[in-house]
Amino acid sequence: MSTALILAIALLLDAALGEPKWLWDRIPHPAVVMGRAVGLLDRTLNTGRLGIPAGLLTLAVLMFGAYVIGTALAFLGGVAQVIIVAILLAQRSLVQHVAAVADGLRVSLGDGRSAVAMIVSRDTAAMDQSAIARSAIESAAENLSDGVIAPAFWFLVGGLPAMMVYKVVNTADSMIAYRTPKYEKFGKAAAYMDDAMNLIPARLTCLLIAIPAGVIGQWRAIGRDARLHRSPNAGWPEAAMARAIGVALAGPRAYDGAMQEFPWVGAAGARTIGSDEIDAALGRLWQAWGIMLGLTTLLTLFG
C-alpha cells in the first residue's frame, strides 16, 4: 500500500470517526503519551542551570524516540498505518470543537465563552460575542495547519517516522516554548524546530483555504497580513481565512489578565461577528480538507 493511499484512507477514516471517546477513556491517546514524555524531560532536565543545551537535548531525545517508534510501527503494514495516521490527524475533532463554540453562542454568551475556553489559551471571561467568534475562527485556521495539513504533509514526505517526529515537535512547542523565565531558553530549540517544520505546511494550508474561496488573487495582501502575526507561520492560514470569510481576525486580546494590542489581520473585514461566521469558517475547513484529499488521491493514482 503506497504512502499516498494510506494517507487518503486515513483522511477519510478520521473525518468519519474522529476520536472515539470510549477508546481514549480506556487507553491514553498518542498525543497524551507524547505530552507525558515532554513533561518528564521538562521535570528532569529543565533545572535552570543548562538552559539552551538542556532544551536541545530534550528535543533530540524526543525526535529520536519518535523516529524510532514511527519506524517500528511502519513495519506493522498498511492497514495498521492507516489506523495510526487517522489517529494522528485531527480534522473531525477540530471541526467538532469549533462547532461547539458556534452552538454555545447560539445558546448564550456564557456558553460560548465556556466552549471557546476549551480551545484557546487567552482570557475568555470578559469576551464579547465577536471576540469569541474571532478566537474560534483563528483556532480553526491555525489548527487546520498544525493538526491536519502539517502531519499529512510530513507523512507524504517521510512516512510514519516523519509524521511522528512532527507530532512530538509540535507537542513540545505547545508545552515548553513559552517566553517565561522558566522556558525562555529551555524551550527555544522546540520553538525553532516547530517553526521550521511548519514553514511549508502553513503556506500550503493558506493556499488550500484561499483557492476554493476565490481569494488567491489577494495573495500579496494575505502575505502582508500574515507577516503581522507574532508567529512566522500561524499568520498565513489566519490571513487566508480572514479574507475567505470576510472578517477581521487577531486584534486586541487579553492574556493572564493583561490586554495586549495585536494588529488586525484582514483589517477591512467585519469586526462584529458571531456564530454564522464560525459556520462559514467550518465550511472552509472542509473545503481545504477536500482539496488535500483530492491531491492525495491524485498522488495515489499517478504518483
Across residues 229-246, what is the average pLDDT? 94
C-alpha to C-alpha distance for 10 and 15, rounded to whole angstroms: 8
pLDDT at 102: 97
**Helical spans, DSSP H, in 49-128:** 52-74, 78-88, 91-107, 109-116
Q: Are the C-beta atoms of residues 67 and 164 closer than 8 Å to each other?
A: yes
Cell output for 128: 464579547
pLDDT at 251: 81
Structural domain for 31, as ranges = 3-302
Does position 254 have pLDDT exceeding 70, yes or no?
no
C-alpha to C-alpha distance for 187 and 43, rounded to whole angstroms: 13
pLDDT at 258: 66
Does position 143 have pLDDT exceeding 70, yes or no?
yes
pLDDT at 210: 97
Question: Each residue of 145-162: b (16+ CB within 10 Å) or e?
Answer: bbbbbbbbbbbbebbbbb
State the total domains in the chain: 1
Does position 136 have pLDDT exceeding 70, yes or no?
yes
How many other CB atoms sit within 10 Å of the CB of residue 81?
Answer: 24
Per mean pLDDT, which range of 1-10, 26-35, 280-289 is the poorest? Answer: 26-35
Beta bridge partners of 260: 253
Whole-model pTM: value is 0.94
Question: Each residue of 239-274: b (16+ CB within 10 Å) or e?
Answer: bbbbbbbebbbbbebeeeeeeeeeebbbeebeeebb
Across residues 8-16, what is the average pLDDT? 96
